[in-house]
Chain A
Amino acid sequence: QLHLQESGPGLVKPSQTLSLTCTVSGGSIDGGDDFWGWIRQPPGKGLTWIGSVNYGGRAYYTPSLRSRVAISVDKSKNEFSLRLTSVTAADTAVYFCARHPGRHYSGNNYYGADFDFWGQGTLVTVSS
Chain B
Amino acid sequence: DIQMTQSPSSLSASIGDRVTITCQASQGISNYLNWYQQKPGKAPKLLIYDSSNLQRGVPSRFSAGGFGTEFSFTITSLQPEDFATYYCQHYDSLMVTFGGGTKVEMK
A, B: real partners: yes
Q: Could you say which residues of chain A place their CB within 8 Å of the CB of B97?
A: 49
**In whole angstroms, how far apart are the Cα atoms of A46 and B50 in the complex?**
21
Q: Chain A: which residue is nearest B43 at the CB level? A: A118
Identify which of residues 44-86 in chain B touch chain A, using a CB-to-CB cut-off of 8 Å.
44-46, 49-50, 55
**In whole angstroms, how far apart are the Cα atoms of A118 and B45 in the complex?**
8
**Given A104-B91, A104-B92, A113-B34, are A47 and B43 also a contact pair (CB < 8 Å)?**
no
Interface size class of A (residues with CB under 8 A): 20 to 34
Identify which of residues 13-68 in chain B touch chain A, using a CB-to-CB cut-off of 8 Å.
32, 34, 36, 38, 42-46, 49-50, 55
A106 at the interface (CB under 8 A from B): yes
Contact call A114/B49, Cβ cutoff below 8 A: yes
**In whole angstroms, how far apart are the Cα atoms of A24 and B40 in the complex?**
24
Q: Could you say which residues of chain A place their CB within 8 Å of the CB of B50?
A: 113-114
Contact call B34/A114, Cβ cutoff below 8 A: yes
**Given A111-B91, A114-B34, are A62 and B96 also a contact pair (CB < 8 Å)?**
yes
Q: Could you say which residues of chain B place their CB within 8 Å of the CB of A62?
A: 95-96
Question: Which one, B43, B46, B55, B100, contacts A121 given CB within 8 A?
Answer: B43
Q: How far is the CB of B1 from chain A (nearest CB, A)?
A: 7
Question: Which one, B42, B55, B94, B101, contacts A46 given CB within 8 A?
Answer: B101
Q: How far is the CB of A112 from chain B (nearest CB, A)?
A: 6
Contact call A106/B93, Cβ cutoff below 8 A: yes
**In whole angstroms, how far apart are the Cα atoms of A111 and B95 in the complex?**
10
A80 at the interface (CB under 8 A from B): no
Q: Chain A: which residue is nearest B34 at the CB level? A: A114
The 26 listed contacts between A and B (C-beta, < 8 Å) are: A46-B87, A47-B38, A47-B44, A47-B89, A47-B101, A48-B98, A49-B96, A49-B98, A62-B95, A62-B96, A63-B95, A104-B32, A104-B91, A106-B93, A107-B93, A111-B91, A113-B32, A113-B50, A113-B91, A114-B49, A115-B34, A115-B46, A116-B46, A116-B55, A118-B43, A119-B43
